[in-house]
Amino acid sequence: MENMKIMVVDDDPGIRDSLQTILEGRQYTVLTAADRTEGMDKIKRERPDLLILDIMLSSWLDGLDMSKKLRKDPEFHSMPIIMLTGVKEKTIFDFRPKDGGPNWCSVDAYLDKPVAPAALLAEVERLLPRKA
């Protein structure tokens, strides 16, 4: 079985390390980046099967901007994106669409920080069927 590649972009090294450990435990190949620039470079070079992206990187809108650019790019528009957010807890602003309403940040799933390993793996496995 070919390992699927998952890219984790988060400015917190503890989060990156934790997610990498969880995902590698399920035999995924994990690539990491600490910021938007490094993340975009690695995505273009490595072509991951799924992206896990922090909503706030070095600036407030980096994760949002990155997801929008990827959705507009024909090479990456269908790559599943899981958005991580600690923003709701800090600002009470929730990025999730309500009742099927329009989603101005087009990603496939949202997970709150701290991320429960079971919730992370459930979303990854829902969005990324294993290659045989």
Token reading at 25: 């435990």
Domain spans, the chain: 5-127
End-to-end CA distance of the chain: 5
User: What are the pLDDT digits (tens) for 38-61?
Assistant: 999 999 999 999 999 998 888 877
Residue 21 makes CB contacts below 8 A (sequence gap 6+) with none
Give the span between the Cα atoms of 93 and 17, in whole angstroms.
27
User: What are the pLDDT digits (tens) for 61-74?
Assistant: 789 889 999 999 99
Model pTM score: 0.86
CATH number for 5-127: choose from 3.40.50.10800, 3.40.50.2300, 3.30.1370.100, 3.10.129.10. Answer: 3.40.50.2300
Complete DSSP assignment for 24-77: HTTT-EEEEESSHHHHHHHHHHH--SEEEEES-SSSTTHHHHHHHHHHHSTTTT
